[in-house]
A = this chain, B = another copy of it.
Amino acid sequence: MHKSRLGVVVIDCEGGDLEQAAKFWSRALGRAVGKGDDRYVDLAGPDGELRVLLQKVEHPSRVHLDIETDDLEAEVARLEKLGAKRIGAVKRWVVMEAPTGHRFCVVRPQRPDFESGAMEWVDE
């Protein structure tokens, strides 16, 4: 058994100044600029809501989804059975591609209520 759910909406920003990006998106979405560094800035939202993260990237700007899980390998295997492809592993997460062509990541738990809120899957 393992758990997962939609954990994070990541706003990938190509190059440029992440501080400026955070200024816009925090005001646009009404979320406070939380902890961050020169690559990541957290936009803090209401408890229990999806996390929103800004990420500085080298590819064109886009939005991608992160699925959070307590068992990376079991979750990747589950998603592969559904038709997703493993693109590569980066540090502590796995990049995958959906059958619809969207890239997404499988990451460790990101939200404080992961245990109570995530879906439970029976591993085959």
Chain A interfacial positions (CB closer than 8 Å to B): 4-6, 9, 11, 13-14, 16, 20-21, 24-25, 27-31, 45-46, 48-50, 52, 60-65, 67, 79, 82-84, 98-102, 117-119, 121
Contact = CB atoms under 8 A, between A and B. Distances in A.
Mostly, the A contact residues are mixed
A16 to B, nearest CB: 7
B61 A21 contact: no
6 contacts: A11-B65, A24-B84, A28-B98, A30-B118, A30-B121, A62-B62
A7 to B, nearest CB: 10
A13 B100 contact: yes
Nearest to A43: B6
Given A100-B16, A101-B14, A119 B30 contact: yes
Given A9-B9, A30-B4, A50-B50, A25 B100 contact: yes
B117 A25 contact: no
Contact of A28 (B21, B27, B63, B82): B82
Contacts of A24: 82-84, 98-100
